[in-house]
Structure 1
């Protein structure tokens, strides 16, 4: 039997990263838990102080298939490279012509750059000049790749 899981990203600005990752993944901000019409009603019923209402965000796959992602406000900034990261697989895979793969990777990266990402490094295939993937960082410096 599998275990249901979600991913949590620690951050200093959950709203900023929620907008970015919705763009990157095609996700949407998750609705409140069943039984509540709004997040405000849920948080109020759970006795969460109003000054903590923006301490997190939750993202969901609009098709309800892929895992949810939570964003949790923490006081400290990111200090080192992630040991776990997402690979956003947009190229179609290595069976596709190299020029098409690179075009897809760069086009998607341009969208993410407009949303606040940066390119950390262009990774080439072995000793060739052909692009394999882009190592990127979200607006708070969390690593991910566009493959």
Structure 2
């Protein structure tokens, strides 16, 4: 049996960064565990102090196909280039002639949410893609 994967991000503001990635991927906030109406109900029962409740945030694929993304508060900021990044497929099933327009359009939407566009590439074999960073500086590509 294959292992499952969770992608974990260090963050200054877990909920804000998680909300950005949920919008980017079409994910939703992870619902509270069964038997609890809200996360606060669950955290109250577990004895989590109110000042620690913003230390983590999770988003999930509503269809259950993609990995869970977890955002954890850390005191330090990002200081170097990612060694791993996510490629976000926004052109699936579309003719190559439309890829640049689709990527640029989505990049513009994400910039309005706090992302930054770093550079564009158009390679004969690899195709078109845009390197971007999320609101906390984590690199990802729109392909």
1:35 counterpart residue number: 35
Name the TM-score, length of structure 2 as normaliser: 0.92
The runs of at least 4 aligned residues of structure 1 exceeding 3 Å deviation read none
2:10 is equivalent to residue 14 of structure 1: no
- SS of 1:103's equivalent in the other structure is helix
Deviation at 1:114, TM superposition (A): 0.9
- Once the two structures are superposed, residues 17-39 of structure 1 have per-residue CA deviations (whole angstroms, 9 ceiling, x without a partner) of 12211110000111112232210
1:52 counterpart residue number: 52
- SS of 1:8's equivalent in the other structure is strand
Distance 2:96 2:63 in 1: 30
2:109 counterpart residue number: 111
Runs (5+) with no aligned partner, structure 1: none
Number of residues paired by the alignment?
141
- Once the two structures are superposed, residues 61-104 of structure 1 have per-residue CA deviations (whole angstroms, 9 ceiling, x without a partner) of 111221111111100001101111110111236x8233x11111
2:62 is equivalent to residue 66 of structure 1: no
2:136 is equivalent to residue 137 of structure 1: no
Runs (5+) with no aligned partner, structure 2: none
